[in-house]
Amino acid sequence: MKALVFERQLARFAASRLVSDLSGSGRGVGVGPLELLEVEPPELPGPGWVRLEPRLAGICGSDIATLDGRSSRYFEDVVSLPFVPGHEIVADVRGGPKDGERVVLEPVLSCTVRGFEPPCDPCRRGERGRCERISFGALAPGLQTGYCADTGGGWSGGLVAHESQLLAIPEEMSDEAAVMIEPTACAIHAALRSERAQAGRVLVLGAGTLGLLTIAALRSAVSPSLLVAVAKHPEQRRWAKRLGADYVVAPAEAVRATRRLTGSLALPVDGSVIARVTGGLDVVYDCVGSHSSLASALSVVRPGGEIVLVGMPGPVKVDLAPLWQREIALRGAYAYGTEQTATGPRRTFELAAELVATAGLEELVSSTYPLERYEEAIAHAAAAGRRGAVKVVFDLRRRGDRRLGGEKENR
Amino acid sequence: MSPRPGVVLEVDRSTPPTLFWHGEGFRLEKLPVGSRIVYAPEPVSPLANPDSAIRQALENPLGDSAPLSSLLRPEMKLTIAFDDVSLPLPPMRAPDVRQRVIEAVLQMAAEKGVDDVQLIAALALHRRMTDDELRHILGERVFNAFAPYGLLRQHDAEDPSNLVHLGFTDEGEDVEINKRAAESDLLIYVNINLVAMDGGHKSVATGLSSYKSLKHHHNVRTMQHSRSFMDMHHSELHTSNWRMGKVIADAGVKVFQIETTLNTDTFPEQFRFLQRREWEWALADRAGFFASSRALERTPPGLARKIFHSIKAPHCLASVQAGEVGPVHARTLEHVHRQQLVTVEGQSDILTMGLPFISPYNVNSIMNPILVACLGLGYFFNLYRGRPLVREGGVVIMSHPTPWAFNPVHHPSYIDFFEQVLAETTDMFEIESKYETTFATDPWYIHLYRTGHAYHGVHPFYMWYWCAHALSHLSRVIVVGGERAAVRRLGFSPASTFSDALEMAEDAVGRNPSITHIHTPPLLIADVQ
């Protein structure tokens, strides 16, 4: 089968980093450590495992950061090479009693998947994203499918998955909708990470896929009193408004807009510029994860407020003096698991499937590419906002094997 | 030789291109044959001895008022309020007429032994002036005698401890003004009536009031029913101020009004061509125009702005009258009309105008897009008596670079208004109901207004409302040579050239439209028959 394989090739890794630095994110794939190869399907690791044949597999911001060579070295111990990327997956089960069933994969490789019994404390509570054993057990290290040498990934003709990772999707849900469930689950988990957001004034920094989904999740699951979105590109602004932002502002206007919308004072006192507000927002969801986005977040969050890091950060250099002086909480939001809701604990993926259906999030899938055109696909995904796109996915379906939802622009 | 009156020129094939102001620059445009150009009257002769005329006015007051010297006594509390830097335009050469008048009043007060004297700049919701600006208006002697001792104040419309509520008009309008002014034994107001809109009861009722009071006449409904601002008898803005003036008088506030008019000698020698009609340009005028234009083309915008804002106009005092507000203002208007009125027969389909670098609200500052709209549609459109120069459903074409640029110190709330409010809607009533209170009560804007040099938070709303009459009257507004994004944000149409603009206007007014160009500044009022 064909698979895009990310291998340990330091020279190509450096070349990719260099080209992406010079030419822009996603441009270094051709010289990087990702190659389209003919490979054997991964072995089934044991009982409870099934084979999956991907239908659609999304390209995520964290994938692009990895391909650009920008992801943190922190991840070196929680991934194993070579791996096949792709963790946003809608697939068909092949073989076993569930043969032919259409499923979405919950990619976290937690205790149950790794064969640990009893599971670690977070896993026992259903908090799979916080699993303490993602580098141990029956599988090679890997925090998720798509970063583990043993499981394969979505950017291929086949992978393996543990039954506990699967969520069956209803017949009426399109593949395009289903492929949005994983990133939507991330957004819901992030939205619910801060209690201050409930009826609070929040701002979402960044309007890529994760930012837009966070807006949708906040609007549906949290009900803030004020929801401001910071979006750079026209299509992003349109989506942010449609998904429930009260106000959408350009990045350069974020501090000024925050000041006005919160009735805050600002510094410096003479008003010649507005560098930061003295009051501000209860919660800022940083869906970018860069040093500048974190600095922006710190300039608009109120004393005692909270910043939720939703976008995957790397090493950042940022002045934490305001965090200290204003007693701001900085909280990570990674993956998903189980959420506490008014009706009791719910699996984040189930909540995500509901939100995708009710909010029409399948429309966020802007373009699909065959695996063979992976360089174009990744370049497109890396420049999605600028090019008027949101989510770019690989289409691995055989001709005539598309389910519902119709065909998007297939490039 | 007496100055020539204004004139309406009909363009024919021999008419030279017409000068259009274009911000900190000019354009020469060829108007279609048959277009009309309205030129201002030439500057009236100045008063030969202004200081003597001022003293005469103070001692020979109009209406039911005693001579000023008889109103002054040693133990009294005297307050002298004066118009701010928004008048005149451009600022006049020293000595400013306010300096002359205030020096005369102070001389008289000193002779009568009045000790308790304060000067108050009647800012309303305008920005506080800098010391240099105050020095220019008042002169060094007055500034140095009052400012160091805290006796020269700038009205603070957000200082509750120095405001007093005098009551309500018959229409239920709050009348709240400066406490020191209201509680003085005599309030002397020193004005400059640059245009017919200024002065009268508007001086105190607006210049020394608060937002609570101002909002009763600075709103969309009032602005739409002020036709025009230059004709107080048909201006709801003035009617409201006159009602407030009655409440002020009934509350026992004794106002001695001193109004002045200036001639329209607007530009210094090197820009004299701006004052002349193009077909009368001498060689020196043509040389001046081309030299200025070429130099400005190579000058960075910031520097060009500095150069233009350094212009001091050779305006001269044309009249001064003092005494009771009503009679004084009636006489003042006669003088304004004598200087500015031009009879124009009928309306046209299109009104064109060139907008200069300055408006009342960007002295020493940037003419931001909201002020461009206000100058064109609030001021120039309203330079009429009778009927607008352009017919209902007609088009205004204005020329200005309209940069997306703001002075953050002077116009902080303008930035938010432009970037956030106008991004949502340009509808006046929606803006007024949805956003005005938030901006007016925003503590940051209040802080900057009170401690810095910022216009009040609500001020951009007023500038937008100022356009209300024009926008409800016109079918389209086209800006020639403006920054496209900024022009579109205003809800107007950008055009690259004047001929493009005329072509675009035809969509609204049909082919072969009638065109009138208002050739100002110098200022004029079109008396449209």
Q: Which residues contact A336 (CB under 8 A, 6 or more apart)?
A: A106, A108, A128, A129, A185, A186, A188, A189, A348, A349, A352
CATH number at residue B60: 3.40.50.11440
Are both B34 and B64 inside the same structural domain? no
Are both B214 and B350 inside the same structural domain? no
Q: Which residues contact A145 (CB under 8 A, 6 or more apart)?
A: A86, A87, A89, A105, A107, A109, A151, A152, A153, A154, A159, A161, A165
pLDDT given for residue B55 in this prediction: 98
Whether A224 shows a pLDDT value over 80: the answer reads yes
Q: What is the mean pLDDT of residues A290-309?
A: 97
Please name the residues between 251 and 290 in chain A that touch chain B, using a CB distance below 8 Å: 253, 256-257, 259-260, 263-266, 269-274
* Residue B379 within a domain: yes
Whether B262 shows a pLDDT value over 60: the answer reads yes
pLDDT digits (tens, 9 = 90+) for B301-310: 899 999 999 9
Taking contacts as CB-CB distances below 8 angstroms, the residues of chain B near A274 are 408
Q: What is the mean pLDDT of residues A131-153?
A: 95
Considering chain B, what is the average pLDDT of its residues? 96
pLDDT digits (tens, 9 = 90+) for B343-356: 999 999 999 999 99
pLDDT digits (tens, 9 = 90+) for B51-94: 999 999 999 999 999 999 999 999 999 999 999 999 999 999 99
CATH number at residue B459: 3.90.226.30
Q: What is the mean pLDDT of residues A361-374?
A: 96
Cβ-defined contact of A271 to B438 (cutoff 8 Å) = no
Are both B22 and B127 inside the same structural domain? no
Whether A407 shows a pLDDT value over 50: the answer reads no
* Residue B269 within a domain: no
pLDDT given for residue B420 in this prediction: 87
Q: How many domains, chain B? A: 2
Are both B54 and B39 inside the same structural domain? no
How many residue pairs bridge chain A and chain B with CB atoms within 8 Å of each other? 45
The percentage of chain A sitting over the pLDDT mark of 70, rounded to a whole number, equals 97
Lowest mean pLDDT segment, chosen from A402-411, B137-146, B267-276, B391-400: A402-411
pLDDT given for residue A405 in this prediction: 42
Q: What is the mean pLDDT of residues B224-245?
A: 95
Q: Which residues contact B33 (CB under 8 A, 6 or more apart)?
A: B11, B12, B13
CB A318 within 8 A of CB A295: yes
- Rounded (10°) CA dihedral A28, A34, A38, A43: -160
Are both B247 and B171 inside the same structural domain? yes
* Residue B317 within a domain: no
Are both B406 and B473 inside the same structural domain? yes
Q: What is the mean pLDDT of residues A210-219?
A: 98
- Nearest chain B residue (CA) to A256: B416
Q: pLDDT band for position A314 (50/70/90)?
A: confident
pLDDT given for residue B321 in this prediction: 98
* Residue B461 within a domain: yes
Taking contacts as CB-CB distances below 8 angstroms, the residues of chain B near A253 are 419-420
CB A143 within 8 A of CB A107: no
- Domain boundary among the residues B201, B234, B262 is at B262
The percentage of chain A sitting over the pLDDT mark of 90, rounded to a whole number, equals 85
Residue A94 CA neighbour count, 13 Å, CB half: 13
- Domain boundary among the residues B262, B288, B311 is at B262
pLDDT given for residue A404 in this prediction: 47
- Domain boundary among the residues B235, B262, B289 is at B262
Residue A375 CA neighbour count, 13 Å, CB half: 11
* Residue B291 within a domain: no
pLDDT digits (tens, 9 = 90+) for A31-87: 788 999 999 999 999 999 999 999 999 999 999 999 988 888 899 999 999 999 999
Whether A2 shows a pLDDT value over 50: the answer reads yes
pLDDT given for residue A402 in this prediction: 53
Whether A410 shows a pLDDT value over 60: the answer reads no
Choose the closest CB to A271 out of B419, B439, B452: B452
Considering chain A, what is the average pLDDT of its residues? 93
* Residue B88 within a domain: yes
* Residue B276 within a domain: no
> CA triplet A48, A52, A56: central angle to 5 degrees?
145
Choose the closest CB to A270 out of B419, B442, B452: B452
Question: CA–CA separation, B286 vs B271, rounded Å?
Answer: 11
* Residue B325 within a domain: no
Are both B26 and B163 inside the same structural domain? no
Q: What is the mean pLDDT of residues A123-146?
A: 95
Are both B185 and B64 inside the same structural domain? yes
Cβ-defined contact of B409 to A272 (cutoff 8 Å) = yes
Whether B480 shows a pLDDT value over 70: the answer reads yes
**Which 3-state string (H, E, C) describes B333-391?**
HHHHHHHHEEEECCCEEEEEEEEECCCCCCCCCCCCHHHHHHHHHHHHCCCEECCCCEE
* Structure-token pair, residue A3: 């698979």
Choose the closest CB to A271 out of B420, B439, B448: B448
Please name the residues between 408 and 437 in chain B that touch chain A, using a CB distance below 8 Å: 408-409, 412, 415-416, 419-420
Are both B198 and B67 inside the same structural domain? yes
Whether A400 shows a pLDDT value over 90: the answer reads no
Are both B410 and B369 inside the same structural domain? yes
Domains of chain A, each with CATH number or no CATH: 2-183+348-410 (3.90.180.10), 194-332 (3.40.50.720)
pLDDT digits (tens, 9 = 90+) for A250-264: 999 999 999 999 999
pLDDT given for residue A24 in this prediction: 79
pLDDT digits (tens, 9 = 90+) for A6-17: 987 777 777 777
Chosen for mutation from A226, A260, A276 (greatest number of chain B CBs closer than 10 Å) is A260
Q: Is the CB of A346 inside 8 Å of chain B's CB atoms?
A: no
* Structure-token pair, residue B311: 């212009």
Are both B359 and B255 inside the same structural domain? no
Are both B24 and B111 inside the same structural domain? no
- Could you list the residue range(s) of the whole structural domain that residue B449 is in? 7-43+341-528
Whether A399 shows a pLDDT value over 70: the answer reads no
